[in-house]
Amino acid sequence: MVLIDGKRVSTEIRGRLEKETAELKTKIGRTPGLATVLVGEDPASAVYVRNKNKICHEIGFQSFGQNLSAETTEEELLDIIKKLNSNDEVNGILVQLPLPDHIDSEKILLSIDPEKDVDGFHPINVGKLAIGNALLTPCTPTGIIALLDYYKIEIPGKHAVVLGRSNIVGKPVAHLLLQRHATVTICHSKTKNLQQVTRQADILIAAVGRPHFVNSDMVKEGTVVIDVGINRVDGKLTGDVDFDQVAEKAGLITPVPGGVGPMTIALLMENTLKAFKATQ
């Protein structure tokens, strides 16, 4: 069994971005800019946003942090996004979810310029992903493909089974795998005979949000197992895969933490650089 080291791969990606950013600064005197928008004081969201801004600085991007009070109105937030949309120094806009209940997240998402939508969640980018020509694709799914590529895992013709159909992980990763010529099956809570389906997987992506959901009876020998899950059990981070059991059968497997998690933020930075380059 080979352990897929997301920490190492994400560090390499960030190193490459740092180098490219320094080159851009020398060549054109400009660097990419990412604006993070946080509404309210949710501690987990505050940590995520702080981390994103910190990595921006490490890479050499400009970061524009907007930390807004929980009382910010929808109109005020829309106005802030409008200003970020027209600010040439801002190439990527990330609105940290969840937003307070009085703000319609869908409306906010739609207000972001699709060319600055570094999360890849705007319907325009979702549609482009579906037809196979998106520049900005969602970070976690794109990070999963980057891991498969780094470990030279063949995708064309392989049967990829995706557990979960969320707009954030399941559906976009299925599209990306299809684009890479995998035969893709998407499973969800109504899927019948789940074990029969998952046992056919050459590549199994678990994005269910249930700790230890995937056990060794659900995988065949040699499968590549990608665990997207982040669940807290007794204060400890746990994936959707029962790692100890499944690692005995898997060909390659991601740990939690240290697998998919660190890739998400690296790909957010990569998307910001792509959005910047598209404006040059």
Q: Shortest gap between Cβ of 205 and ligand NDP (angstroms)?
A: 10
In whole angstroms, what is the distance from residue 143 CA to residue 120 CA? 13
Q: Which is nearer to ligand NDP, 30 or 199 (CB)?
A: 199
Residue 156: name the closest of 132, 183, 186 by CA. 183
Q: Shortest gap between Cβ of 188 and ligand NDP (angstroms)?
A: 3
Q: Which is nearer to ligand NDP, 27 or 190 (CB)?
A: 190
Chain residues binding ligand NDP by CB under 6 A are: 140, 163-166, 168-170, 187-191, 194, 207-210, 228-231, 260-261, 264
Length of the chain: 280
Count of beta carbons in the 10 Å neighbourhood of residue 240: 25
Residue nearest to ligand NDP (CB): 166
Which residue of the set 66, 96, 179, 227 is catalytic? 96
Rounded to whole angstroms, the maximal C-alpha distance in the chain is 57
Is-contact 240 229, C-beta < 8 A?
yes
Question: Is 119 part of the annotated catalytic residue set?
Answer: yes
Q: Shortest gap between Cβ of 29 and ligand NDP (angstroms)?
A: 34
Q: Shortest gap between Cβ of 211 and ligand NDP (angstroms)?
A: 8
Count of beta carbons in the 10 Å neighbourhood of residue 143: 28
Is-contact 240 231, C-beta < 8 A?
yes
Tokens linked to 169: 């992980």
Q: Which is nearer to ligand NDP, 169 or 182 (CB)?
A: 169
Q: Shortest gap between Cβ of 148 and ligand NDP (angstroms)?
A: 15
Q: Which is nearer to ligand NDP, 32 or 164 (CB)?
A: 164
Is-contact 29 278, C-beta < 8 A?
no
Dihedral (CA of 268, 272, 8, 187) sign:
positive
Which residue of the set 66, 117, 119, 158 is catalytic? 119
Q: Which is nearer to ligand NDP, 24 or 169 (CB)?
A: 169
In whole angstroms, what is the distance from residue 9 CA to residue 263 CA? 8
List residues with catalytic annotation: 52, 96, 119
